[in-house]
Structure 1
């Protein structure tokens, strides 16, 4: 058995730990995108080379999610989170004081390792709480995951306007110290050491529920990757809005994810119904609207579609997290790491797909060909979501038959 705190008085320290850990690790995923050019100039290197600071952060995060979850399941989420907050503070300090591109990139690699420890074990810690507290933690998790990407570009722009880029990393340190202090203050969790099985637990995917959560997380990540990468490119190409206004418009999807937290409270508690009746249909409607306006790009329609996608995607993600939390208590960190791994892989592939489609030189493309290109971009997502809807229907039917 693992650390289980079911049937005990809820500890508000858990909310702080999960909120801070997930917020920091998602905030730093894209907070440096706006300063890459400045960093290249500051370190006298190419933009491609300094861009490794983003790529390697994500690479280390993805590769180490499941090993980090395994570490938490074996040695306890408390030990893993202490290590995660401590490492994130040290590497943030090193990134802020970097005097060369190599130092900066290595520090970002360390941040990626720390982010993997935080993401997998924050979800693992939430998964071993009481049923009531899991529902409340689901809200905290969704807010942390969605607020991080929202604040990243805006906070980066604000700091760059008035201070140096180094502050982007120094501001992590007080939050890490707070997270570390709160984690250290936790009472020792019972039965914190156990055998969690092999490091890469592929047998988890043999369980229909875990497989369903993994596939759903991947699909959410893929569609999110398409939205977040294609949205600004299309608006820059097809509208005359200044870049700061386009940045605000692109916040529609993350804002929708945040709103989904409030909307979910108004819906039924059956997460399978939420996925089938609200989440997937809303996401489908959003991409259908994107597809329908491919011939006549409208910023207003794009905002509506992106906001709708954010709401539907947020409902899907929170429901999948809820389902994952109900699974094996002694494997919660591993399951949490697998969920985040599938989602991040989906984001990467979705981003690459969107960039491949939109990479065509549009100066030699007429209006009809351009519309066809955009319809191809959105059309694949519609097909994927229809397949997910059918899969969800069959999964629900089998689950009812097994009860």
Structure 2
């Protein structure tokens, strides 16, 4: 049921954006603290890297399950429980006395984040009026974009002026605010729920598949990655075979035959990965190659979010005026061309040029992301929107994880050969190619739809 109370709608946008911002912020906020934590716990980097890996692993592995549960028992319930678990585990992280406790509580935090991310977009899709959905999704997209980029910057600031537990304690006031608002909303909105037919075996196979994939990405440089990929492929084959036989599959198989839906998922995968490059490469280039202050990195990393903020002011008007698929193509082309230009001029690129180009990328991202989310939610029944939203977030997180791992691998190899600039160029151009492939896929979908409409009008 669409709510018409303006106050409720504003509060829905506020809590979903805050929840999404916190859950994406904590994906990377701890990265800059790894050297500090290594000294604090008298441990080593290999062990403490699990504070990053386990968070991502839990987030990706359980997100579909909570999306399915949200559709069945209520999206707001799952969202609220996720916020509570996220806040409680943040407190436990701050109080951790050993590295192993910190790793365990980071896993709990990842589960809470998966509950939040699984239901946040669907709450906007089901509880915001159609007239205001475009603007709401635009603001929501900014929250998604700001979190991963602000994480390292905020982490550095907190470590300079406080101690490492503050990385987690900073979540608590925002969590409490969300919980208070959620209690009000749960009394004032109504959600359609359905029958819970949960696919435990299918979800188990999906968790094995995603876990081994994330671990393979994490240990990309190791021979163990080959074993993990083999297990991943085997569990994927078993998952597909099993899901075809049951009445209520975890993800409706009809979605896999919908080419437009698949093109949207591919688009969000490449977008997530491309966004990851935008905040992985600049720190290396600015600090290691240009020998500039890390403060410059902060300014450059704000370029893409700035572009998203700029586009949020006019994206809703564009959505109302132009066809969604046309806007998807234009925004993908803009993002692909900006990365291609960065790659081609990487040898002599100036800071102001990098800032301008990343801002242009952010503008394209700010147009693309709300349209992708809205289009995906509109392709499925309202009773399945949490499942669809969680699938989108899972795919985007996989893109971020894969591109980040590949970036680290390529940068390390190029540094070993004394030609880091060449590594950056390869990454920018490769990302632009994947975006341009997404453009071609979207163009093909647009042409096919036009041909179908012509046949129907004859």
Tell me if the contact between 2:86 and 2:112 (Cα under 8 Å) persists in the aligned partners: yes
Partner of 2:280: 229
Q: Rate the CA distance shift 1:76–1:363 in 2: closer, same or farther, 3 A.
A: closer
Tell me if the contact between 2:332 and 2:364 (Cα under 8 Å) persists in the aligned partners: yes
Partner of 1:393: 443
Q: Rate the CA distance shift 1:201–1:46 in 2: closer, same or farther, 3 A.
A: farther
Note the C-alpha offset of 1:71.
0.9
Distance 1:348 1:125 in 2: 26
Pair 1:375 & 2:422 matched? no
Partner of 1:352: 405
Partner of 1:258: 309
Partner of 1:280: 332
Tell me if the contact between 1:67 and 1:200 (Cα under 8 Å) persists in the aligned partners: no
* Unpaired runs of at least 5, structure 1: none
Q: Which has the higher contact order (CA 8 A, sep 6+)?
A: 1
SS in structure 2 opposite 1:359?
helix
Partner of 2:202: none
Deviations 1:231-263 (A, max 9, x none): 222223321212222232232223223322224
Partner of 2:5: 9
Note the C-alpha offset of 1:323.
0.8
Pair 1:303 & 2:342 matched? no
Query: Where in structure 2 are the equivalents of 1:167-206 lying within 5 Å?
Result: 167-186=166-185, 187=188, 189-195=190-196, 197-206=248-257
Distance 1:39 1:371 in 2: 31
SS in structure 2 opposite 1:128?
helix
Tell me if the contact between 2:276 and 2:404 (Cα under 8 Å) persists in the aligned partners: yes
TM-score normalised by length of structure 1: 0.91
CA RMSD of aligned residues (A): 2.1
Note the C-alpha offset of 1:364.
4.5
Partner of 2:220: none
Distance 1:104 1:202 in 2: 39
Partner of 2:47: 49
Mean Cα displacement is larger for which, 318-327 or 335-344? 318-327
* Unpaired runs of at least 5, structure 2: 198-247, 454-458
Query: Where in structure 2 are the equivalents of 1:120-269 lying within 5 Å?
Result: 120-129=118-127, 130-186=129-185, 187=188, 189-195=190-196, 197-269=248-320
Deviations 1:117-175 (A, max 9, x none): 00111111111132123223213312221232343233323322222221221221222
Distance 2:332 2:436 in 1: 8
Q: Rate the CA distance shift 1:118–1:370 in 2: closer, same or farther, 3 A.
A: closer
Partner of 2:238: none
SS in structure 1 opposite 2:163?
coil
